[in-house]
Structure 1
Amino acid sequence: MLIFGLYFSIDPKKLMSDITVTIADGESTQVPISTTVGEVFVALQSNKQRKRTVAAILNGEVVDFNTPLSTDCTLSPVTIDSPEALSVLRHSTAHIMAHAVRDIYGSDVKVAIGPSVDNGFYYDFLRSDPFTPEDFEKIEARMLEIVRTGSLFEKTLYSSAEAIARFEKEEEKYKVELIQDLDVEEVSIYTVGDFADLCRGPHLPSTSFIGAFKLLRVAGAYWRGDEKKDVLQRIYGTAFFDSKALRKHLNNIEEAKKRDHRKLGKELELFTMQDSIGPGLPLWLPKGARMRHQIEEFWKAEHYRHDYELLYTPHIARQDLWKTSGHLDFYADSMYAGMDIDGVTYQIKPMNCPFHVGVYKAKKRSYRDFPLRWCELGTVYRYERAGALHGLMRVRSFTQDDAHIFCRPEQLEDEIFNILDFNLFILKSFGFSEYDIYLSTRPEKSVGTDENWDKSTNALKLALEKKGLKYEIDPGEGVFYGPKIDIKIKDQLGRSWQCSTVQVDFNLPERFELSYVGSDNSEHQPIMIHRALMGSLERFIGVLIEHHAGAFPLWFSPVQARILNITDDQIEYGEKVYAELRAADIRVEKDLRNEKLNYKIREAQLVKTPYMLIIGDKEKEDGTVTVRMRNGKNLDPMTVQEFVALVLEECQHKGDA
């Protein structure tokens, strides 16, 4: 039987033996042991279905057509529009790129590893000469030739000894090292044409499924991330099943460059990073500080409205605090070294939660006190490797919009439900309406009883379901002390950003021996909920800059209006308008220079000023301003008071932009 340029044969007589395969739609069949996934699809799928199937999900794991079946199982097709399909495509395209590089440069190049990653793939190579744009053209041309052959991705199992001997003969030292470190009896090698590579898979059935690809850039990378090992060249690329999707992605890349918060942060004078201060330590410039102030004031007001109380806590504490909490055992690599103060070791704080525990312990608590909801914009300090730092998105000093809720067990579900409501309201206020939600379960390295983990996980799950929110389980990705809900917001380009989190904790109350007097006059242990709505202000503002491309909604824009005069005759009137707007708490600038009006308008537009207030002789005479919006639209002349009312009204409609 011929399908996608592949030949599969299956003896119909064999279909009545050994194991039962259940397809996702409920259809079942019996096949011999060692029948491959590809053979099952050949037998059961229509021609139309087979042309869209690139892999399979076998008992929850993505596998390719080469996989033999050994027990009763459930099999689901991975079609080209399935979430898992792009990863398989990109992994396979990475191998085609390595194939092309070896064809062009031969033994001058040693191949390392080539996985799929978010939005694409990469492959690492050792080569004495740097790869250039001209090299990219050659590699892409050869890749296209390989793709057009329709070659199969064929999997062969080798004993580790055989595989090592093979790659030693080919002088592929990285493959040899990988196999030696795997410490397994056998490994799989995939062959495409005359190129073979060590790989677990999964891969496409054949190269004919690769629709469109593009090599994007090259960067340096240490072999296996070790600074003491070889420096390799990492070629990044991306791939899609059709050229239209590729063009859209490449357009998004160009748009992302324009929206880069580091670029806009400099152009809009929001923040700066300076080596003399230290990497990962942002300085907020006046306009950035003004915007941050608006965000913080909104955050505080809404927390008071939602029955929270505000806390302030120190930046250092005795190191023993984090020993007791358990953070030192789990996060020591991310914490800065202790400091000796009066013979006692102190620690600069990496998180705020132990301080809030201290506030709890400041007095005896009764069951009538609950829930206690405490929030803080607390600045913390964590060590990040220099190579991981990235503008405001990854820093060493950042401010968490932190909160901790202490509640009784019977209050837990309602508190989580209320947090989710509050969280989505905050996100909507900043213009985020799309997000993915994940429920992260117990990791291998954790503390606490199974009973408490089950209670916590079920409470998070019930709150999500009661709210009607779709979510995915993220196995083993909880924090060491409890499960969590993560909300990843999507920006205008469809990129996901981890910001919001809700975590249930039985650990800290137990470690710090927290208690309250219940209605039965006995001592009980409260439950602690950790939650952050924006995550860190630095990261959140970085996302805001890119999401809005610097054209911020009026309510938190650092500048709401700029006054522009036509000639020097209006300078005095311009100063008067400026003073009136400042008195009305409008964030206003003035540009009263002796420059052409069109030049000043252009400058105001470049820095995304929402409103330009133009004044000439007529406006001066009438006591008005002519209002020009940043999109180029002109409004009718209005008085200063009318403009103030317009601004205040627009600021009331948060999240509408």
Structure 2
Amino acid sequence: MNLTPCYIYGHFCHVVTRPARGKWSLASAKAGATLKTGPAKFVLQKEIFTLDLERVRHSTAHVMAAAVTRLFENVQLDIGPATGDGFYYDFDLSHRFTPEDFSHLEAEMARLVSANLPFERVEMTRAEAALALKGQRYKLERLADIPEGELISFYRCGDFSDLCRGPHLTHTGEIPAFKLLSVAGSYYRGIETNPMLQRIYGIVAESAQALQTQLDRLEEARKRDHRKLGRELDLFSMHEEVGPGLIHWHPKGARIRALIEDFWRREHFRAGYELLYTPHIGRSLLWETSGHLGFYRESMYAPMVIDELQYFLKPMNCPFHIQIYKSQLRSYRDLPLRWAELGTVYRYEKAGVLHGLLRVRGFTQDDAHIFCTTEQIETEVQRTIRFALSFFKAFGFADISAYLATRPAKAIGSEERWTQATASLEKALKAEGLAYTVDEGGGAFYGPKVDLKVKDVIGREWQLSTIQFDFNMPERFDITYVGEDGQAHRPYMVHRALLGSLERFFGILIEHYGGAFPLWLAPEQVRILPLTDKQIETARQVAETLRSADLRVTVDTGASKLGAKIRNAQLEKIPYMLILGPKEAEAGTISVRSRVGGDQGALSVEAFIQQVKT
């Protein structure tokens, strides 16, 4: 079954049949229904249905909107798409939703589902659509977004209809178990100067049992939310006086960042990279040459004028690295050049999409650019992928997925270069034993790429590394090297980020470990707990000994009782607590308690150091 491109509430998307992940048998299936393997085909009364998870979620969003319009008056509707793990719908009305409303909404949704109401597609002219949407200000604006000549359609479900190109389920009875989760404010179109709408989130699953499993996973994700743990563990903050999406690293968070950066630099030197530092601003001339002012202007901050010249905060590091490349004549003997930078960039993101550390406006990319010859690309790409995998292993990620994006219909660069670059990426993935998915035509216009994604401990997938060929920048800046034949040649240029950005990676790490970082990443590895004030001086001496062994240690000199001190250390997820009372002070030992194993008995300071160092 071929599914056509879909225009949903002002967003273009493609609904495609995918492998079995995310598919289920219909909730309304009769006894004897057969689930076939492969692309999720369901045999029901000799008919074959192919269900896409996004279609189920999207249809459930429509049912929720129908329930809201039945239970409340004067509802202004905006959008209601499927999301990565559920659905939402944005509403504007005088009633302020609370979780207490959800039981009433869910009951109304259940009535609509049990009624087996068909989803009916209705096509209209633009004038007819405008008449149907009379009084719906947001929908009328979404209608205006649809290009002239584009087909305009609605989907009707009972007495509710919505501007939508679909596709949807056959009828509401095909919607399985669902649950409304939360309500939050959301600026219309994500622009903070626009009205604040009310967004209701929900999820859907194939059965009540599966729904409970999903709810349990969401609860675990809530406990691991990096924004919550960031506050509790005093790692980072953001401040309205400074601006949204701009991160303040507190001492403990900054210590972890420094550990990540130190590891990053050390491993890059070992891998044959040289490090660069480049400015935070650049003249408009630079961004005109790179093309950013033409195709990326909306994501750049407004210019500043210095000495009558326009300067922009940099959204990317690439043009600066190219300037360094151009600073001298390059020979084939110089290549490959591997240049890396922890470069802070600034991108304007709408307030509605900002999300803790995961989506910010100022962030530090672990950027690198590799300049090489045709003969070197296979080796360099394989080295890069192997390097990325070593980073994942070091930070505790073992479940890796790879995605190869190939040439789109509109692209720059010769077919020969595209073929060579794509083949080198595919060969490297095979050489490293990575299973990968090919996104045919999904590459950027300027080159093919590989995205590497990791799964965290609760099964969520996060994109980290990107290895991206760029046929655009070398042409725009006219960079060359002198080949063995004495002629000028265009180098291959590979963009590469292993962690993505330090901010986002830190957020992922917090959630992956639930704030209980492994010993080497823990900002405070050891906390010494003196039993009384008489042991404080001895505790400080022990701390100095531990620091001389490169351990990160503090002494709790507070007046709390030992039980409270232990509880505080556990809440702060300190790997080791060392208890020091009169008995330990006299014997020259410490009583060791670990975050995971509990009491480990008395050890000498030297024995403890040896234990944690091995």
Answer yes or no: same fold by TM over 0.5. Answer: yes
Residue 217 (structure 2) pairs with residue 252 (structure 1): yes
Q: Deviations over 1:148-185 (max 9, x none)?
A: 223333434455555555555xx556556655654448
Residue 486 (structure 2) pairs with residue 501 (structure 1): no
Aligned AA (1:113): I
User: What's the counterpart of residue 100 of structure 2?
Assistant: 134
Query: Cα gap change, 1:331/1:176 in structure 2, threshold over 3 Å: closer, same or farther?
Result: closer
Contact 1:54-1:205 within 8 A present in 2 as well: no
Counterparts of 1:28-67 in structure 2, within 5 Å, are 48-49=33-34
User: What's the counterpart of residue 344 of structure 1?
Assistant: 309
Cα offset for 1:536?
A: 0.6
Identify which of 28, 50, 57 aligns with 1:78.
Answer: 50
Counterparts of 1:114-513 in structure 2, within 5 Å, are 114-158=80-124, 164-168=130-134, 178-179=142-143, 182=146, 183-184=148-149, 187-224=152-189, 231-442=196-407, 447-474=412-439, 477-513=442-478
Q: What SS does structure 2 have at the residue aligned with 1:390?
A: coil
Aligned AA (1:322): W
Give the whole-Å Cα distance in 2 for the aligned partners of 1:406 and 1:185. 43
Give the whole-Å Cα distance in 2 for the aligned partners of 1:46 and 1:250. 28
Give the whole-Å Cα distance in 2 for the aligned partners of 1:466 and 1:505. 23
Query: Cα gap change, 1:480/1:51 in structure 2, threshold over 3 Å: closer, same or farther?
Result: closer
Query: Cα gap change, 1:46/1:54 in structure 2, threshold over 3 Å: closer, same or farther?
Result: farther
Give the whole-Å Cα distance in 2 for the aligned partners of 1:575 and 1:582. 10
Give the whole-Å Cα distance in 2 for the aligned partners of 1:499 and 1:554. 23
Contact 1:160-1:184 within 8 A present in 2 as well: no
Give the fraction of aligned pairs with identical amino acids, expressed as a percent. Answer: 54
Contact 1:398-1:537 within 8 A present in 2 as well: yes
Query: Cα gap change, 1:542/1:179 in structure 2, threshold over 3 Å: closer, same or farther?
Result: closer
Q: What SS does structure 1 have at the residue aligned with 2:499?
A: strand
Which ranges of structure 2 fall in alignment gaps of 5 or more residues? 1-16, 20-25
Contact 1:55-1:205 within 8 A present in 2 as well: no
User: What's the counterpart of residue 560 of structure 1?
Assistant: 525
Contact 1:256-1:546 within 8 A present in 2 as well: yes
Contact 2:106-2:179 within 8 A present in 1 as well: yes
User: What's the counterpart of residue 14 of structure 1?
Assistant: none
Identify which of 597, 608, 616 aligns with 2:581.
Answer: 616
User: What's the counterpart of residue 60 of structure 2?
Assistant: 93
What is the aligned-residue RMSD (CA, Å)? Answer: 3.2
Which ranges of structure 1 fall in alignment gaps of 5 or more residues? 1-22, 26-40, 58-64, 66-74, 650-657
Cα offset for 1:202?
A: 1.9
User: What's the counterpart of residue 10 of structure 2?
Assistant: none
User: What's the counterpart of residue 23 of structure 2?
Assistant: none
Contact 2:344-2:365 within 8 A present in 1 as well: yes
Give the whole-Å Cα distance in 1 for the aligned partners of 2:252 and 2:438. 41
Q: What SS does structure 2 have at the residue aligned with 1:238?
A: strand
Query: Cα gap change, 1:292/1:202 in structure 2, threshold over 3 Å: closer, same or farther?
Result: same
Q: Deviations over 1:278-302 (max 9, x none)?
A: 3322222221111111111111111
Give the whole-Å Cα distance in 1 for the aligned partners of 2:406 and 2:91. 37
Cα offset for 1:54?
A: 11
Residue 75 (structure 2) pairs with residue 109 (structure 1): yes
Identify which of 456, 467, 487 aligns with 1:522.
Answer: 487
Q: Deviations over 1:600-633 (max 9, x none)?
A: 0001011000000111222222222111011352
User: What's the counterpart of residue 29 of structure 1?
Assistant: none
Q: Which has the larger radius of gyration?
A: 1
Cα offset for 1:138?
A: 1.2
Give the whole-Å Cα distance in 2 for the aligned partners of 1:24 and 1:579. 58
* Greater displacement, 378-387 / 153-162: 153-162
Q: What SS does structure 2 have at the residue aligned with 1:419?
A: helix
* Greater displacement, 522-531 / 465-474: 465-474
Give the whole-Å Cα distance in 2 for the aligned partners of 1:188 and 1:337. 39
Cα offset for 1:97?
A: 1.3
Q: What SS does structure 2 have at the residue aligned with 1:636?
A: strand
Query: Cα gap change, 1:219/1:446 in structure 2, threshold over 3 Å: closer, same or farther?
Result: farther
Query: Cα gap change, 1:122/1:591 in structure 2, threshold over 3 Å: closer, same or farther?
Result: same
Give the whole-Å Cα distance in 2 for the aligned partners of 1:179 and 1:52. 40
Contact 2:99-2:183 within 8 A present in 1 as well: no
Contact 1:439-1:473 within 8 A present in 2 as well: yes
